[in-house]
Amino acid sequence: MTTAVCPGSFDPVTLGHLDVVRRARSMFDHVVVGIAKNAGKSPLLDLDERVRLARVALADLPGVEVAVVPGLLVDFCSEVGAAAIVKGLRGGADYDAEVPMALMNRHLTGVETVFVTGDPNLAHIASSLVKDVARHGGDVSDLVPPGVADALAAAFGGRA
């Protein structure tokens, strides 16, 4: 059985993430969605909430589980026996951010990163933009799985 890890902050999970996880699942028997700490970001939603929302969103996808990455991503990949990390690329900015991480992860343990290009109709969806729209009262319900817009509204104190 082949396993891949789809890592990220998932703050919050979006339709873009789900697209990448489905594409990963089409290539690997088992996909572990790894919710990790990005040292460069302060999450809006706490870890338990990010895990809960991702589990609800992915509940109907066989062969996919959601777990917390407690430390280094490469150590987590070794623990779950992942053959690869899978990440989505929306464009050049993603490429510039992702390639150094892929190279560092391969330097650390030899784990490879497989990049997938997602649905271009979802290329504008980023968790950071979704939060910005929600923060200012915009409707994000068609950008995220069910329940996420309400969670953002609650996090922003009832707006959104």
The pairing of beta strand 64-68 with beta strand 84-89: unpaired
* DSSP label at residue 29: S
Candidates 138, 152, 86, 148; CA nearest to 115 is 86
Among 67, 72, 80, 89, which residue sits at the site for ligand PNS (rule: CB under 6 A)? 72
The catalytic position among 41, 107, 124, 136 is 41
Site map for ligand PNS, 81-110, x if CB under 6 A? --------------------x--xx-----
CB 113 within 8 A of CB 94: no
The catalytic position among 25, 50, 127, 131 is 127
Coil, strand or helix: which one is 50? helix
Beta carbon nearer to ligand PNS, 71 or 157: 71
Query: Which residue has tokens 């799985």?
Result: 145
Site map for ligand PNS, 25-44, x if CB under 6 A? -----------xxx--x---
Q: Is 52 a catalytic residue?
A: no
Candidates 138, 118, 120; CA nearest to 129 is 138
Kindly list the residues in this chain that would bind ligand PNS in the complex (CB under 6 A): 7-9, 36-38, 41, 69, 72-73, 101, 104-105
Active site residues: 17, 41, 90, 127
